[in-house]
């Protein structure tokens, strides 16, 4: 097994298999893009999924104050229990009461270093090398990053853009095999901004129940839904499917750098048994527990934040979504899909109408070079021919970005003449001609 013999007289230090097989798709793709902005235009990055980037969205004063006070306590500097302090877990259990019809016990809560750590624990406690985890496509790619280095396979199930990104249920069920360890459901969704209603959640649960597959519910955007939509926790609908719900402070409280997340174990019928709980406790000891400064502040953060703070943030994002949707709907060759929550919008790029670009990667590359607007290509979410924008940027910047995107599309959309020449098998002229006409004189 050893890679070297003792007494070897040269240095042979290699990175481990885990390290070599761990990839972050977004980073890999973005690093390989030519993203030299136009020097005459200020760069607008609609790519960064961090709501604090522009300084326009800040946590409420009560939250800042809670951490200030926490700093006064010795216990906010000491190690805590690996799963987190009891008071902090009690606070999370209470805050998460909507997730269950039964009382959530602090014993059901494991505090983590951010939601991504919660995701890592949830996957590693349930899946072994050689097994697979089903994740949505398009979807947030941390699952791939976490799983693949460990030899856990990622299999995709499709979401349906024409049905507000609902799960393709047939596809989901078809993907399940004997090695499937868990299904991941991200609701509300990054990158889609979709929000699933109770009926749809029940349909997903039926499949999990029939096939006896537990679910990892990524609800980092819980409650983050626009008007006329309702957030329902998957666990609140589940009758028998065990669910590990991953959440945290990051998005809702606008504090990604604080690295405070959690797992809540929903296992009414004790399907997961003692072993999985024990397993989570074991895995939690790998980092000796998360940040105690924030743990000590957690009860105040979770109970003192006024509802008006959440309402204002969501209303802001909703208005941003409407703005971007209205602007980009008129951009020739694009089809924005209106989100129902979270903080992103997916936009289809009808690549057949932009013959000078081979794919959406080239499209976003050239848009940076010409218009200094950077959007994440869909391939970052295993979903070509789309791009994702973040809606948390200030309003004037978003408006400016949408206008530049529109100009870019008008500059590059196929001309009427070329369109006629293109094989009609390739491009559906009749349905797209509407889009072409919209753009008017720019096509001339
Ligand atoms: C941002 C995000 C996370 C990671 O959250 P952290 O608390 O920063 O680790 C997890 N899942 C989804 C869907 C996200 O968008």
Query: Which range is least confidently modeled, 29-38, 330-339, 343-352?
Result: 29-38
Give me the mean pLDDT over the 156-177 stretch: 98
Q: What percent of the chain has pLDDT over 90?
A: 85
The answer on pLDDT for 38 being more than 60 is: yes
Looking from the CA of residue 118, the nearest atom of ligand 1 is: 9
**What is the average pLDDT value for the chain, to the nearest integer?**
92
The answer on pLDDT for 79 being more than 50 is: yes
First to last CA, the chain: 68
C-alpha of residue 13 to centroid of ligand 1, in Å:
33
Band of pLDDT at residue 181, cut at 50, 70 and 90: very high
Give the domain 61-304 fold: 3.40.640
DSSP helix/strand/coil, 385: coil
Same fold, 18-56+309-423 and 61-304: no
Q: Structure tokens of 57?
A: 């969205």
The answer on pLDDT for 5 being more than 70 is: no
User: Can you list the positions of beta strands (E) in 327-442?
Assistant: 334-337, 344-349, 373-374, 376-377, 386-390
Give me the mean pLDDT over the 112-137 stretch: 97
Q: Structure tokens of 433?
A: 């001609």
Predicted pLDDT at 239: 95
Predicted pLDDT at 3: 59
Predicted pLDDT at 442: 31
Q: Please tell me which residue, 95 or 4, carries the higher pLDDT value.
A: 95
Give me the mean pLDDT over the 220-244 stretch: 97
User: Can you list the positions of beta strands (E) in 169-242?
Assistant: 180-186, 215-218
Band of pLDDT at residue 417, cut at 50, 70 and 90: confident
Residue from 140, 187, 195, 262 to probe ligand 1 pocket by mutation (most atoms less than 8 Å from CB) = 140
Band of pLDDT at residue 2, cut at 50, 70 and 90: low
CA–CA gap between residue 321 and residue 308 (Å, rounded): 20
The answer on pLDDT for 220 being more than 50 is: yes
Q: State which CATH number among 3.30.70.100, 3.40.50.2300, 3.90.1150.10, 3.90.1300.10 fits the domain covering 18-56+309-423.
A: 3.90.1150.10
Using CB distances shorter than 6 Å, the residues near ligand 1 are 49, 114-116, 140, 142, 186, 190, 218, 220, 248, 250-251, 256, 261
C-alpha of residue 141 to centroid of ligand 1, in Å:
10
Give me the mean pLDDT over the 262-275 stretch: 92
C-alpha of residue 331 to centroid of ligand 1, in Å:
30
Give me the mean pLDDT over the 44-51 stretch: 93
Band of pLDDT at residue 431, cut at 50, 70 and 90: very low
C-alpha of residue 220 to centroid of ligand 1, in Å:
6
Predicted pLDDT at 141: 93
* Residue corresponding to tokens 């008071």: 87
> What pLDDT digit, counting tens, does each position of 284-314 carry?
999 999 999 999 999 999 999 999 999 999 9
Residue from 50, 159, 189, 190 to probe ligand 1 pocket by mutation (most atoms less than 8 Å from CB) = 190
Question: What angle do helix axes 292-304 and 86-95 make, rounded to 10 degrees?
Answer: 30
Q: What percent of the chain has pLDDT over 70?
A: 93
C-alpha of residue 48 to centroid of ligand 1, in Å:
12
Find out whether the peptide bond into 191 is cis, omega within 30 degrees of 0: yes
CA–CA gap between residue 139 and residue 167 (Å, rounded): 11
Give me the mean pLDDT over the 46-69 stretch: 94
Domain limits, the chain:
18-56+309-423, 61-304
Residue 221's Cβ-count burial label (10 Å; 0-12, 13-18, 19+) is: buried
The answer on pLDDT for 34 being more than 50 is: yes
The answer on pLDDT for 214 being more than 90 is: yes
Q: What residues are paired with 133 via a beta bridge?
A: 154, 182
Cβ count near 307 (within 10 Å): 8
33 φ, ψ (degrees, to nearest 5): -90, 150
Q: Structure tokens of 319?
A: 């208005």
* Residue corresponding to tokens 């604080």: 258
């Amino acid at each position: 097994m050893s890679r070297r013999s003792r007494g070897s007289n040269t240095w042979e230090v290699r990175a481990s298999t885990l390290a070599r097989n761990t990839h972050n798709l977004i980073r890999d793709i973005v690093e390989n893009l030519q993203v030299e902005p136009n020097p005459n235009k200020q760069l607008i990055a609609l790519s960064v999924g961090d709501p604090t980037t522009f300084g326009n969205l800040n946590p409420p004063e009560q939250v800042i104050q809670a951490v200030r006070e926490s700093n006064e306590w010795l216990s906010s500097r000491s190690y805590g229990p690996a799963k987190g302090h009891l008071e902090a877990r009690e606070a999370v259990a209470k805050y998460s009461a909507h997730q269950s019809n039964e009382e959530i016990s602090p014993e059901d809560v494991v505090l983590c270093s951010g939601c991504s750590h919660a995701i890592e624990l949830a996957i590693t406690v349930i899946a072994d090398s050689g097994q697979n985890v089903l994740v949505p496509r398009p979807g947030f790619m941390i699952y791939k990053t976490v799983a693949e280095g460990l030899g856990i396979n990622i299999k995709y199930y499709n979401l349906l853009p024409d049905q507000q990104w609902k799960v393709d249920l047939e596809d989901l069920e078809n993907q399940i095999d004997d090695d499937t360890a868990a299904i991941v459901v991200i609701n509300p969704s990054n990158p889609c901004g979709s929000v699933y209603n109770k009926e749809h959640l029940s349909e997903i649960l039926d499949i999990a129940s029939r096939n006896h597959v537990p679910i990892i519910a990524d609800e980092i955007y819980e409650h983050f839904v626009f008007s006329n939509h309702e957030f329902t926790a998957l666990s609140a609908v589940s009758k028998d499917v065990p669910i590990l719900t991953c959440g945290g402070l990051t998005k809702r409280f606008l504090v990604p750098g604080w690295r405070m997340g959690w797992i809540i174990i929903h296992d009414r019928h004790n399907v997961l048994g003692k072993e999985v709980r024990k397993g989570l406790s074991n895995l939690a000891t790998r980092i000796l527990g998360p940040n105690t400064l924030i743990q000590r502040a957690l009860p105040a953060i979770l109970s003192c934040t006024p509802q008006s703070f959440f309402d204002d943030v969501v209303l802001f994002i909703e208005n941003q979504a409407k703005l971007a949707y209205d602007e980009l709907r008129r951009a020739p060759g694009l089809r924005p899909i209106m989100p129902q929550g979270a903080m992103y919008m997916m936009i289809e790029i009808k690549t057949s109408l932009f013959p000078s670009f081979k794919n959406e990667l080239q499209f976003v590359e050239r848009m940076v070079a010409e218009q200094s607007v950077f959007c994440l290509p869909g391939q970052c979410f295993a979903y070509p021919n789309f791009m994702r924008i973040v809606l948390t940027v200030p309003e004037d910047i978003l408006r400016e970005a949408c206008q530049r995107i529109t100009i870019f599309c008008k500059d590059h959309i196929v001309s009427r003449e070329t369109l006629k020449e293109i094989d009609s098998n390739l491009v559906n002229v009749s349905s797209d001609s509407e889009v072409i006409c919209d753009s008017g004189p720019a096509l001339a």
